[in-house]
Homo-oligomer: A and B are copies of this chain.
Amino acid sequence: MHSKGQTGGPPSIVEVARAAGVSTATAGRVLGGYGQASAASRKKVEEAAQRLGYRPNGLARSLIQGSTETIGVIVTDVGNSFFAQAVRGIADVVRAGGFEILLANTDSDPEAEQRAIQVMWEKRVDGLIIAPEGPDSAGRLRTLVDGGLPVVLLDRPLPALPQVDQVLVNNTACARRAVDHLIRLGHRRIAVVSEASRDFSRLLDPSVDGDGERPSAARLAGYLSALQRAGIRPDPDLVVQAPYDRAAAERATARLLRRNPSVTALFCTDNILTSGALAAVQRSGRACPEEISLVGFDDQEWTTLVRPQLTVVRQPHRELGAAAAKQLLARVQAQREGGGPADDEAVHLRLQAKLVRRASTAPAPASGA
C-alpha cells in the first residue's frame, strides 16, 4: 500500500531521500543509524520513510557489509524429534544473537547434502551447523572450511576434518553404561538394535575410538566394549541391523526375538529404533521386564507413559543444538573482530548423556542362567 516509486517494487532509499528532500547519503545515515544527521533531516527522513512504508533491503545491506546475519542448518530430518529439538535449541541461541536460520534436510542423501551445502554457500550464510551424512561429507565441506566459513558439526564427527568444531554426545560411554547396567542385573544374552551398517567387525577392535564414529556406530561400540569388559563374547546374531525406520526396526527385532529365545535384554541405539523395538517386544508376548529388559535411547515424553516406564539413555537434544550454536556464534564473532580466519584450535565439545533407570530393566530371569 506504499505509494510506489518508478519501479514497481517497494520503495528504496533513494525514493525516501527524494521525498524527504535530502541526499541518499543522509537518508541512509538516518535509516541505517550509522552516521550523523541533524534533528531536522532526521525528522524529515523518518516521516518520509513512514509515509512510503520503507523497509531496508537486507540483500543490498548484506552484499556491501559482507555478512547476512544468517546461519545455515543442515540436518537429515527435522521431522525426527531429535533434530527438531536440536534445531529448536539452535534457533533460540541464534535468534538471541540476532541471526536467522536457513534450514535444509538431507534425508542422509549425499546429493541432497551436496546441494544444501552449495546453496548455503551461495546464499552467503555467516556460518554453518551441519549433521553430516557420512564420512564423504568431509569432502563436500572442505571447500567451505578452507574458504574460512565457520562450521560446527552437530551430533556426528568427521575425523577427516579435525580442524572443525564439533558438538557431540558421549555416545560410547553412555551406551557402555547402559549395557553395563544390564550386565549387572545378570543379563548375558543382550541384543542391540542398531541402524544398519558394516561396522560390526571393525568396532570389535578395542583400539578403535568409538566416539570418532557416527552415533549409531559409537553406541554399538559402547555395547561391544561393555560386553568385552565383562568377559562376554559378542554374538553377531544378537546385533540387529535395521534400516532406519520404525517399521523395519520392529520387524527386525521381532525376528531376533523369535530366533533367539535366550535373549533376555535389548539395548536400542536411537529414538526411532526404540519405538520399533518396543512395539516388537509388546507383540512378542514376552513380559517386560520380567522376561526381557529394555533400554531405550532418547528420553522422549512418551517413555514415561508406556508400561513399564522405559529405562533410557537421555540425550540433551536441545542443549546439543544450543551448544553448537553458541560455538558457531563465537567463531563468527571472533572472525569479525580478528579479521582473518581464526587459526585457533578446534573445539570438540562432548555433552553428557545419562542413563535414567526406570521400570523396563530388571534382573535377568533365573531360568536362563
Contacts and interface: CB of A to CB of B under 8 A. Distances in A.
Interface of A: 1-2, 8-10, 53, 55-60, 62-63, 66, 68, 70, 73, 77-81, 84-85, 87-88, 91-92, 95, 100-105, 112, 118-119, 121-124, 142-143, 146-147, 246, 275, 278-279, 282, 300-302, 304-307, 318, 340
B55 A59 contact: no
Q: Lowest 6 CB-CB distances: which A-B pairs, in order?
A: A302-B302, A84-B84, A79-B88, A1-B146, A58-B122, A58-B123
Given A2-B147, A63-B63, A103-B91, A302 B304 contact: no
8 contacts: A1-B146, A9-B66, A53-B147, A58-B123, A58-B124, A59-B59, A70-B102, A282-B305
Contacts of A2: 147
Contact of A57 (B100, B118, B122, B246): B122
Given A79-B318, A88-B77, A88-B78, A102 B104 contact: no
How many copies of this chain sit in the oligomeric assembly?
2
Given A78-B88, A103-B91, A119-B100, A59 B62 contact: yes
A1 B101 CA distance: 26
Given A1-B147, A81-B81, A59 B70 contact: no
A59 to B, nearest CB: 5
Contacts of A88: 77-79, 105
A143 B11 CA distance: 13
Contacts of A81: 81, 84
A121 B1 CA distance: 15
B79 A68 contact: no
A79 B85 contact: yes
Given A1-B146, A305-B306, A306-B306, 16 more contacts: A8-B340, A55-B122, A56-B122, A57-B63, A57-B122, A58-B122, A73-B103, A78-B84, A78-B91, A79-B84, A81-B81, A95-B104, A95-B105, A103-B103, A246-B301, A302-B302
Contacts of A143: 1, 53
A68 B62 CA distance: 13
Contacts of A302: 275, 300, 302, 305-306
A87 B146 CA distance: 32
A59 B143 CA distance: 19
Given A77-B88, A78-B88, A307-B307, A59 B53 contact: no
A49 to B, nearest CB: 13
A179 B5 CA distance: 56
Contact of A100 (B85, B104, B142): B104
Contacts of A142: 1
A64 to B, nearest CB: 9
